[in-house]
A and B are shown apart, each in its own frame.
Chain A
C-alpha cells in the first residue's frame, strides 16, 4: 500500500539516547553559594573538633579559682575563663566536639530506626503498617521536647540518656517521612516489574526500593542534624544532659547563665559557637536538599508570573493588522523556554487565522508546541522559563500581547476563554463548581452573588448537566470526569465569548464520554456562532469537529488548510505519514505504516526542515535554510519544498 512503510527496527530504536551531563553532587552543592559558605565553616569547625586532642589546648577541666571569669584576650586565655577559672577556649573546643558527636549520633540512631520502620510499614502496608504507625502516632501524641524530658526522667539525667531521648523523639519524624515516600514507590510499576522478575519482598525492599528512598533519608538527616544538636544542647542547658565536669556547648551556656550579668562573655561565646555550628549545618543541609531534589535544581519551583514574559525584538518584521475582522489572527509567533543556557524553541514562527464562527484544529504529537501555542495567545505560558520572543496576536485591530495587564485580564475568560485538558486538576479542588462559575461571571460583570449563582445554574443546565441546581453545590472531586469537563465548558461560556481555546479537552476522557463532549461542543458552537481553536493529537476528532486544520511539528505549522482537503490529500509528508500510522477502525488486522525515528528535541533543531531526517522524500535541499510555507491551493499551505508533488501523489493514490 505504501512505499514508505518501514520495519519496526528502524528509527526510534536506533537513536542514541540522550545523555544528560551528569554533574557531580559536590558541584551541584557548591553552585549554591550559601551552601558553599556553610560547608567551609562546618569543615573548619569539624576539623578543630576532631583535632582537639592534639591541639595545644589547656586542660578543659583544670580549675583555677584565682583566674575566675577572666575576660577574653587575657594572657594565656584567648577567650577568657569561666567561673571556676577553666580555660574557655579549651572548653569550647571540647564542648563542640561533644555536641557534634551527640547530634550526629542521635541523627544516625533516629535515621536508622525511623527509616527501617518507615520502609517496612510503607512497603508491606496493611496490618503491619497500621500497627507500626499507630505506635508512632502514640509517640507523637506527646509534644516533642516533653517526650524527651519524660525519657530523661525515666533514664535519669546524663549524656547518653539525653542522646537516646533526642534520638527516640526524632524517630517518628523519620518513620513518617520515609513511609510516605515508600508507599509512593511501592505502588510504582517497577516494583511490580521486579516481582514479575521473580524477586522476593526482602530483596525488592533492599535493592529496588531503598536506593530510591536513600536521597530522602539523606535529605532528612542533613536537615535534622542541626536541630538535634540544638536539642541535646538544650537538655544539657537544663542540666539534664552532660554532667559536670564534662561539658558540651549547652552546659557551658547553662553554667555561664549563672554569671551572665557579671561576665556575659561566657554565654555569648558559647551561644555564638552553637549558632555558627547549627547555621553552617543548616546551610549545608539546604544545599544537600536542593542538590538531591531534581525538581528544585531545575528551577521548576519558580513561581509563574501572571502574564508570560514578552520580550520581542524591536522593528521585527511584523505584518500589519489582518484584513477583515477575524476572531483571532496570529502572526509569526515564537515562544521559547529559556532554562539557563538551553533554549527550547517550543513555538517557532507560527501564523494562522481563525475566522468568526470557524473551528480550527491544531494537531500535533506531544512536544510539537500545540499547547504552548494555545497558551501563548493570552500570555498564559508559565514564565519563567517561558518567553514570547516574537509575533503578534491580533484581535479587533489590537495586538493582544501589547495590551495592558488590566485589558488582558478582561479579555481572559471574557471574550476569549479556555478549556483545559484534565478537569480534575484544572478546577480548584476546594471550591464548589457553582462558586467557581460565580467567580468567573463576577470577574467580568457586576452581579450580586445571588444573580451570578442563578446564571451559574443556568450555565450548568446549558451544558446538559442533570439536576444542575444540586450539582452546583458539588466539589469537583464529587463529579465524574465527563461532568467536570462540562463544568469547565460552562465556565468557558460564562461571559459569552466569541472564541474558545480548547486544549485537548477530551484526551483524559473515555471514548463514550468523549463522544458526548464533542457533540456538546459542536452543538454549542453552532448555536452561538463562536469560533473554536481545538488542540488535539487525534485526526479523528479533528475531522468530526473542525472546518480547518493546522498540523504542527517541532514548533512549526507544517501544513494548514480545510480539514477535508488536508485529510484527503496531505501536502506535507509528515501529515501524510501521521494520518497513515493511526489505525483506522474497520481496516482489519494488518501491519501499520510507522514513521521511523523520533521528533527532534526542540533545543537542538536541525537546519532546514525539522522533519527531513525522518522523511522518505528528503533531499539535500531540505536540510539547509529556512523552508517557508508555500501556498498549494486556496487558503491552504505547507512548509515543504515538494508540497505539490506530495499532494498530487496522495490524490492519485486515493484515486487508484
Chain B
C-alpha cells in the first residue's frame, strides 16, 4: 500500500513538470505584447522595450521558461498588472473560495448521486427508478448557468430565503452560518449536473454487477439480500464509480466558472474570466497552473481510494 502511494507520488513529478511546460508555452503563444497591454495604447516604443527587458520578455523562450520555473519554485508567480498585487496571493485567496464551493458540490453530488443510483437500480423499472431517471435527464440537460439564475429568482428574489450573491454578507457577516447560507444555492447548482452523472453511472454499474456470477454465489450461500446488494454488489460497483467521482471533481472545479459568475462568488473561475478579458496573462497562467496542479493531486487521491477498494490495482 505504502509502496503504491510512493510510486504514485514519484510519478507525479513528471506530470507536474509537464503541466508547467504546457501552461507556460500555451501562454507564450498568446498573441499581442503584454508590455503594450500593461502600458496602454499610448505607450512610447522606448517604454515598451524597457518594460519588456524588465519582464525578461526579450530573452529566448527556453530561458524565459527556466526563469519562470525558477521563480515558481520559490513561490513567485509574478505580479498581476491589472490588480497590482502578487499573482500567487490573489490566486490562493480566490482558489480557497473555489475549493469551498467545489468541495461542497462534490460532497453533494457524491451523496445524492450514489443514493439515487442505488435506489434506481434496486427498484429497477419501479416508480422511484423512473423518477430518478427523469430527474437525471433534466439535470444533465439543464444549462447550469440558467439553473443558477432560476434559483436566484426563486429563492433569493421571490422568497428572500437565501442571499443571491457573494460569499459573505457585506455588513456583519463572515461567520460560518453566513457562509453556509451563501453556499447553498451555488453549491446545489454546481452539483446538479454532476449528481445526474453519478446517479446514472451508479445505476448502470449496480445493474451490471448484479448480473455477475459472484452475486449468484452470494445468493447461493444464503446471504440476506440486503448484504448481497449493499456489500457484495456495491463494493464491486464502486470500482467503476470511484473514477467517475474523480472526473466529477474536475468537472465541478471547472464548472465553478459559470456558477461563480452567476452568483458573484469570489472564486478563481471568475478571476480567470476577468483576467482573460483584461489579458492579464500572468494571472491566467498562475490560476490555470494552480487549479490544474490541485486537480492532479485530487486524481492521485482518487487512485489511492481506488486501490483501497480494489486491491488488484496494486499489482
A and B touch in their complex, CB below 8 angstroms: yes
Does B143 contact A274, Cβ atoms closer than 8 Å?
Answer: yes
Binds B, one of A147-155, A518-526, A562-570, A622-630: A147-155
Does B258 contact A275, Cβ atoms closer than 8 Å?
Answer: no
Interfacial chain A residues near B275, Cβ < 8 Å: 153
Interfacial chain A residues near B292, Cβ < 8 Å: 141-143, 146
Interfacial chain A residues near B207, Cβ < 8 Å: 301-303
A182 at the interface (CB under 8 A from B): no
Measured in the bound complex, the distance between the Cα atoms of B223 and A410 in whole Å is: 8
Measured in the bound complex, the distance between the Cα atoms of B214 and A425 in whole Å is: 6
Measured in the bound complex, the distance between the Cα atoms of B210 and A345 in whole Å is: 24
Does A428 contact B276, Cβ atoms closer than 8 Å?
Answer: no
Residue of A nearest to B206 (CB): A303
Measured in the bound complex, the distance between the Cα atoms of B137 and A112 in whole Å is: 27
Interfacial chain A residues near B27, Cβ < 8 Å: 153-154
Does B208 contact A301, Cβ atoms closer than 8 Å?
Answer: yes
A190 at the interface (CB under 8 A from B): no
- Considering only residues 276-314 of chain A, those with a C-beta below 8 Å from chain B are 278-279, 282-283, 286, 300-304, 306
Chain B: minimal CB distance from A338 (Å): 16
Which of B137, B213, B291 is close to A282, meaning CB atoms less than 8 Å apart? B137
A233 at the interface (CB under 8 A from B): yes
Chain B: minimal CB distance from A407 (Å): 11
Q: Which of B29, B122, B239, B276 has the largest number of chain A CB atoms within 10 A?
A: B276
How many interface residues does chain B have, given as a range?
35 or more
Chain A: minimal CB distance from B54 (Å): 23
Question: Assuming the A-B contacts A142-B288, A303-B211, are A475 and B312 also in contact, with contact meaning beta carbons closer than 8 angstroms in the complex?
Answer: yes
- Considering only residues 395-418 of chain A, those with a C-beta below 8 Å from chain B are 409-414, 417-418
Q: Which of A144, A302, A444 has the largest number of chain B CB atoms within 10 A?
A: A144
Does A230 contact B143, Cβ atoms closer than 8 Å?
Answer: yes
Measured in the bound complex, the distance between the Cα atoms of B239 and A250 in whole Å is: 37
Chain A: minimal CB distance from B44 (Å): 26
Does B250 contact A144, Cβ atoms closer than 8 Å?
Answer: yes
Measured in the bound complex, the distance between the Cα atoms of B224 and A443 in whole Å is: 8
Measured in the bound complex, the distance between the Cα atoms of B157 and A264 in whole Å is: 11
Binds B, one of A12-20, A253-261, A316-324: A253-261
B167 at the interface (CB under 8 A from A): no
B111-145, CB under 8 A of A: which get 1 and which 0?
00000000001101000000000000110111111
Measured in the bound complex, the distance between the Cα atoms of B143 and A254 in whole Å is: 12
Measured in the bound complex, the distance between the Cα atoms of B137 and A414 in whole Å is: 44
Measured in the bound complex, the distance between the Cα atoms of B158 and A261 in whole Å is: 10
Chain A: minimal CB distance from B218 (Å): 7
Does B312 contact A283, Cβ atoms closer than 8 Å?
Answer: no
Measured in the bound complex, the distance between the Cα atoms of B19 and A137 in whole Å is: 11
Which of A239, A278, A491 is close to B277, meaning CB atoms less than 8 Å apart? A239
Measured in the bound complex, the distance between the Cα atoms of B282 and A42 in whole Å is: 44
- Considering only residues 479-525 of chain A, those with a C-beta below 8 Å from chain B are 488, 491, 494
Binds A, one of B1-9, B174-182, B228-236: B228-236
Interfacial chain A residues near B141, Cβ < 8 Å: 226, 275, 278-279, 282
Measured in the bound complex, the distance between the Cα atoms of B216 and A418 in whole Å is: 10
Interfacial chain A residues near B212, Cβ < 8 Å: 425
A440 at the interface (CB under 8 A from B): yes
Does B214 contact A429, Cβ atoms closer than 8 Å?
Answer: yes
Chain B: minimal CB distance from A285 (Å): 10
A529 at the interface (CB under 8 A from B): no
B222 at the interface (CB under 8 A from A): yes
Interfacial chain B residues near A267, Cβ < 8 Å: 146, 149
Interfacial chain A residues near B299, Cβ < 8 Å: 141
Does A283 contact B257, Cβ atoms closer than 8 Å?
Answer: no
Does A154 contact B146, Cβ atoms closer than 8 Å?
Answer: no
Chain A: minimal CB distance from B125 (Å): 8
Question: Assuming the A-B contacts A146-B288, A426-B213, A430-B310, are A253 and B221 also in contact, with contact meaning beta carbons closer than 8 angstroms in the complex?
Answer: no
Does A141 contact B146, Cβ atoms closer than 8 Å?
Answer: no
Does B153 contact A260, Cβ atoms closer than 8 Å?
Answer: yes
Residue of A nearest to B136 (CB): A282
B198-219, CB under 8 A of A: which get 1 and which 0?
0000001011101111111111
Question: Assuming the A-B contacts A138-B18, A153-B30, A278-B143, are A426 and B222 also in contact, with contact meaning beta carbons closer than 8 angstroms in the complex?
Answer: no
B77 at the interface (CB under 8 A from A): no
Does A412 contact B221, Cβ atoms closer than 8 Å?
Answer: yes
Which of A240, A250, A425 is close to B276, meaning CB atoms less than 8 Å apart? A240
Q: Which B residues form the contact surface with A (CB < 8 A)?
A: 15, 18-19, 22-23, 26-27, 29-31, 121-122, 124, 137-138, 140-146, 149-150, 152-153, 157, 204, 206-208, 210-225, 227-228, 232, 235-236, 239, 249-251, 253-255, 257-258, 261-262, 269, 272-273, 275-277, 281, 284, 288, 291-292, 295-296, 299, 309-312
Kindly list the 5 A-B residue pairs having the minimum CB-CB distance in the complex, ordered from nearest. Answer: A145-B254, A413-B221, A413-B222, A271-B146, A279-B141
| 25 sampled A-B residue pairs with Cβ under 8 A | A138-B19, A143-B249, A143-B251, A143-B253, A143-B295, A144-B254, A149-B272, A149-B273, A149-B276, A151-B26, A153-B30, A234-B143, A237-B145, A238-B258, A238-B261, A239-B273, A278-B141, A278-B142, A409-B224, A413-B222, A427-B217, A428-B217, A429-B236, A430-B310, A491-B221
